Structures are given as C-alpha cells and as structure tokens.
Amino acid sequence: MGVSVVNVLNHQVVLFIANTIWGWPAGWSNVFAACLAAGPAYLLSRAWVWEVSGKHDLRKEVLPFWILAVVGLVVSTAFAAAAGRIFGAGILVNLGSLVGYFIVWVGKFVLLGRIFDDRAERKEAEANADEA
C-alpha cells in the first residue's frame, strides 16, 4: 500500500502542477505525470511489493508491469482529458485521472499478485525444505 501511496502522490502532484499551474492541457499533463512516475513505480513495486532483487525477469516482471502501465496511461489520460474538457483545469482533472487509474489498478493488483504468488510459494517451499 505504501508503494501505491507514493506513486499516486507523485503522479497527482505533477499532474496538478502541469495542468493547473503551468496551464497544460489535461491529457498532456497526465501523460507527462505518468511518464515521470512510471520508473519509480516499477522499481518500488519490485523492491517492496514483489520483494524481488537481482536480474529483472522480462516475461514475469518487466513486460506485465509496463503493459499495464501503458493501459493505465491510456485509461487515466482519457478520463483526465474528459474531465479537462468538462471542468477545465483543477482538482477535477486529478479526480478523473484517479478514477481511470483506480480501474486499471484493481486489475493490475490482481494480475501481478497472481504472477508473483508462485514466487512466494517457491520461497516458502525452499525454506521448508531447508528446515527438513
């Protein structure tokens, strides 16, 4: 949960600054915020959520995360852009982005949890084998 809080705060602060303070269009502001937040989101998720270190596994880590990150980018940008068209700049653009990301986050949480469950089971089996 800590990773999600950090990622959401990073994204939302940058989105608000780009859209409301700098006056960028909502959609482009969301793309900018997502691009800045994606790298730290991956690295924090890898270290704190999945508890994986060492070499990156392209099939089980990198591709699933980045595919879902792009899906999140597309969905949240559509919601942020729609909010921008309806309400202009401001906190409602942030809310639109959050709604889009929440929809994708639920799916990402379930999918990545399933991928890494097998790793947790293997670690537990290895620990039990070492004890025996």
Six-digit token pair at 19? 């859209």
pLDDT on residue 125? 72
CA–CA separation, 65 and 70 (whole Å): 9
From residue 70, alpha-carbon distances to 34, 73, 75, 108, 123 in Å are: 9, 5, 9, 11, 30
Task: Determine the pLDDT at residue 82.
Answer: 97
Token pair recorded at residue 44: 């924090």
How confident is the model over 100-112, as pLDDT tens digits?
999 887 877 777 6
- What's the pLDDT at 120? 62
Assign 7 to helix, strand or coil: helix
Mean pLDDT of 44-56: 86
b/e burial code for range 29-45 (CB count within 10 A of at least 16 → b): bbbbbbebbbeebbebb
